[in-house]
Structures are given as C-alpha cells and as structure tokens.
Amino acid sequence: MMRISVQKEDFSLEQESLALRGNRTDIGAIVSFSGLVRDFPEGSLKCMTLEHFPGMAEKQLAAIAEEARKRWPLQEVTVIHRYGELRPGEQIVLVLTASLHRQAAFEAAQFLMDWLKTDAPFWKKEKTGDDETWVEAKKEDDDARDKWLKKS
C-alpha cells in the first residue's frame, strides 16, 4: 500500500504510523521521518509559506515513492507534505516506510527524503520581519540526491 497526501492540515505521527501498520503482523520495521520548520539561530523566522501545483505535487511524490518501492522490499509507504503558512516548530513532511527488515526501511526513508528535498514541486518563502525571501536550492541537497543515482 502507498499513501500520498499533500495537505494544509497538520498530521499525527502516531495516527499515521498506526494506520500504516493496521493489523499486519508481517512488518518487521517502520522507519519514520518528520520534518519541521526550523527557526534561524537568532529566532527571526516568522513563518514559511509552502506553495505547490495541486495534482502535479501528488503525482511527483507518488513517482518518488514508487521508485523507492522498486529499490527496496517495502510493504507500506506513507508520504505527507504540507503546504500553506507554517510557523517554526510546525511539521512540514512525514515519511513512513515499512519493511520486513530495518535496513530496507531506513534506506528507503533516506532515499525518499533526499529526493523530496530536490524533486518535489514545492516552493518555500521565508518571512522575517518585513522581508520575504524565496528559498534557493542547496548544493548539499542535490549532492544527497545524486548519491542515489550511483546506487540505482
């Protein structure tokens, strides 16, 4: 099973993990990653606004999750990405991977996040005081994604 959601509302790690697991007894590992809005060291971030193209974002998230399912023996995958105005400390993204064994679940979760950071069609704008700035892509995010190209 695969659950992909692009939503404005918050999510519950506990509820999503329970839903992913269901009544299954064949899952040996569930790995979770929850990404949060991170404030600046000086505490100046007022909010981050995430924009996306509805339909296109879900399609791209599903394609990335399908690639993970091809590479690892995953039983379940959940990817939730929020949009809209988010404040420091709020949740942005959730990735859950379930597999018979922990290594596949860990590697798949890392793969998903590395690809989501670069290839998911979301745009971030940070607001500090009266200033608003679009967040530029980072070389280290591209490098993290590119390492998986060598492992395909």
- Return the CATH number at 96: 3.90.1170.40
Query: What is the percent of the chain with per-residue pLDDT over 70, rounded to a whole number?
Result: 99
Query: How confident is the prediction for the chain on average, in pLDDT?
Result: 94
Quote the domain boundaries for residue 94.
2-149
Whether pTM exceeds 0.75: yes
The token duo for 142 is 């591209």
Query: What is the percent of the chain with per-residue pLDDT over 90, rounded to a whole number?
Result: 81
Which residues does 110 contact at the CB level (< 8 Å), separation at least 6? none
Task: Give the integer Cα–Cα distance in Å for 140 and 112.
Answer: 15
1 confidence band (pLDDT: 50, 70, 90):
confident
| pLDDT at position 143 | 83
Higher pLDDT, 45 or 1: 45
Task: Give the integer Cα–Cα distance in Å for 145 and 140.
Answer: 9
Q: What total number of domains does the chain contain?
A: 1
Q: Are strands 74-82 and 2-7 parallel, antiparallel or unpaired?
A: parallel
Helix (H) or strand (E) holding 58: helix 56-71
